[in-house]
A and B are shown apart, each in its own frame.
Chain A
Amino acid sequence: MIKVLFFAKLREALGQSELQWPLAAEASVEDVRAALVAEYPQWQEALCASNVLTALNQEVVNAKARVKPGDELAFYPPVTGG
């Protein structure tokens, strides 16, 4: 299993802030995103938007990063703090 987190506008669009996702073997961030969209087709537009950022275990990563069981993967829109 991995923990998947969604924040801000993306969290609202998906109607979910967190879920546990079964991950049997190592996969890329892009693989996980595709699997999520296969399970929840209504998430396609929001989750696959070009400006969605990803963090793996709280570090910014790109779509090729490798996800392992036990990891924490976050999807979120561009940041607007300060």
Chain B
Amino acid sequence: MGSTARLKVQVGAADFDAGEEIRLVQALTDSIGGVASFIGAMRSSNDGRRVDSMSLEHYPGMTEKALGRIVDEAANRWQLLGATVIHRVGEFFPGDQIVLVVTAASHRGEAFAACEFIMDYLKTRAPFWKKERTSEGDFWVEARDSDEQAADRW
């Protein structure tokens, strides 16, 4: 059950060390047989425009609750033994890391599936908004139908 798993959710401006976070999850228990991870980073272009920088705003309080619920659901559905989600907010430049998901389970299938589920749900359920600064002006990023479809698979 997910209730026995160590689940960590962190939202803030601070950068993260993915290697360290993976090591922390892997060290939780020797029942872990597979650890999957995903890093989302800022691209230097979007929809054909060069993006110089990006600001990422969120709804403090609700963000942490929404992520906590998503990770709880993943832990229950795939019997996770540990999981970490870190989402940064603030100002970003191309190449900066934005989000980290680490999932651990007895076998790789559960770890992979839970990792992808958490990202798909995070992208459509957690209250974050991106605004890009480009040579053509500032633009709020529009939600994509493909993200909604990805979340609906689960």
CA A82 – CA B85 in complex, angstroms? 11
Please encode chain B, from 40 to 61, with 1 for each CB lying within 8 Å of some chain A CB and 0 for all others: 1000000000000000111101
Partner of B128, one of A55, A58, A59, A80: A80
Q: How many residues of A contact B (CB 8 A)?
A: 18
Binds A, one of B2-10, B20-28, B72-80, B116-124: B116-124
Q: How many residues of B contact A (CB 8 A)?
A: 26
| B-side contacts of A58, CB under 8 Å | 59, 61-62, 65
CA A77 – CA B131 in complex, angstroms? 12
Least CB separation from B148: chain A residue: A78
Q: Is the CB of A79 within 8 A of B140?
A: no
| A-side contacts of B98, CB under 8 Å | 82
Please encode chain A, from 1 to 19, with 1 for each CB lying within 8 Å of some chain B CB and 0 for all others: 0000101110010000000
Partner of B59, one of A12, A74, A78: A74
Least CB separation from B98: chain A residue: A82
CA A78 – CA B119 in complex, angstroms? 16
Q: Is the CB of B129 within 8 A of A81?
A: yes
Q: Is the CB of A55 within 8 A of B143?
A: no
* Chain A interface (Cβ < 8 Å from any Cβ of B): 5, 7-9, 12, 51, 55, 58-60, 74, 76-82
Sample (29) of A-B pairs whose CB atoms are under 8 Å apart: A7-B127, A7-B129, A8-B129, A8-B131, A9-B129, A9-B140, A55-B59, A55-B127, A58-B62, A58-B65, A74-B62, A74-B127, A76-B59, A76-B127, A76-B129, A78-B142, A78-B143, A79-B125, A79-B126, A79-B143, A80-B123, A80-B129, A80-B130, A80-B141, A80-B143, A81-B127, A81-B129, A82-B126, A82-B128
